[in-house]
Structure 1
Amino acid sequence: MVVDPARTQLLVVRRADNGAWTPVTGILDPGEEPARAAAREVTEETGIVCTPLRLADVRTLPMVTYTNGDQAQYLDLCFLCEADPAQEPYPADGENTAARWAPLTNLPPLNPRFREQLQIVLSDDPAARFRW
């Protein structure tokens, strides 16, 4: 999740596939370091350059079944990233239809996982959260 240094804004995108507002998400390239992937995905999707500060949350996501019958289950690594809010985000690739800084006091609807991860990120607890 990308926030401004004052922790008053969250970088969000509107997904092209389902119209949902989310933080920037993405998938590691083979052999890619996770923090580097987080920064790359943010730039690829929004044009924003960010700095990953820490790993905040680790969880396994539910099984996904694709229309062709393939199944996958993803490991979700949530990083706290910081960026200068003077950078103007835009939908830099075809994955999103909008990108913007949203005030934490007026966020678009986020699913429960992202709301929980935002609270973890904002807690500034230096330890990553793990599920047992």
Structure 2
Amino acid sequence: MADAAGLLGGAAIATPDFVLSLRERVGHELLWMPGVTALVLDRERTSVLAVRRADDGAWTPVTGIIDPGEEPARAAVREVAEEAGIRCTALRLIDVRTLPPITYRNGDQAQYLDVCFLCEADGESEPYPADGENTEARWFPIEAAPPMNARFTEQLRWALEDRSEARFRR
């Protein structure tokens, strides 16, 4: 991976090499990107992992881009390890949705397919901002989760319902 300021709005965020290569060819044109959201709960289901993004300061679950050929559940587990230093297991699919197109500050355009997984932490280790994409990483009591956007709040609510089926738009 390389550091690039463009992909995620100007912050020094690790951008996958395949995205940098694509950008060399297509410039700022819209890229369709597969991504993951990992909602990580502790084993007791009393705490949720959240990270504070370095680019905009927002609290979010761990998110990331799926590498070419990578299984989405493995991408979620990898992103949690890379961003928060936590080992986890992906338990089930929660939600699949297409996010609205976005234009980053440098003019790059992207649209993401978000594949959201419920994950369970494998141990009692403390999270930390492991790769520079976040300034904080920590556990929050579920009833006192940090303020998050509507999508993440909805996905967390669905994760806590413990239903077996995933949600998707028809």
TM-score (norm 2): 0.75
For 1:57-96, list aligned pairs within 5 A: 57-84=95-122, 86-96=124-134
Residues 1:85 and 1:8: Cα distance change in structure 2 (over 3 Å): farther
Verify the 8 A CA contact 1:65 1:72 in the aligned structure 2: yes
Residue 4 of structure 1: aligned partner:
42
Q: Is 31-40 or 78-87 further displaced after alignment? A: 78-87
SS in 2 for 1:25: strand
Q: Deviation string for 1:42-80 (max 9, x for gaps)?
A: 000011000000111000001011234332110001000
Which consecutive aligned stretches of 4+ in structure 1 deviate over 4 angstroms post-superposition? none
User: Which one has more relative contact order, counting CA pairs under 8 Å at least 6 apart?
Assistant: 1
Residue 31 of structure 1: aligned partner:
69
Q: CA deviation at 1:34?
A: 0.3
Instruction: Give the counterpart of 1:21 among 41, 59, 64.
Output: 59
Verify the 8 A CA contact 1:85 1:101 in the aligned structure 2: no
Q: Deviation string for 1:56-115 (max 9, x for gaps)?
A: 100000101123433211000100000146211000011000000000121111111100
Identity %: 70
Residue 13 of structure 2: aligned partner:
none
Q: 1:83 is aligned with what amino acid?
A: A
Aligned residues: 132
Q: Over aligned residue pairs, what C-alpha RMSD do you find?
A: 1.0
Distance in 1 of aligned mates of 2:87 and 2:148? 23
Residue 120 of structure 1: aligned partner:
158
Q: 1:103 and 2:103 equivalent?
A: no
Verify the 8 A CA contact 2:88 2:119 in the aligned structure 1: yes
Q: 1:28 is aligned with what amino acid?
A: I
Distance in 2 of aligned mates of 1:12 and 1:69? 28
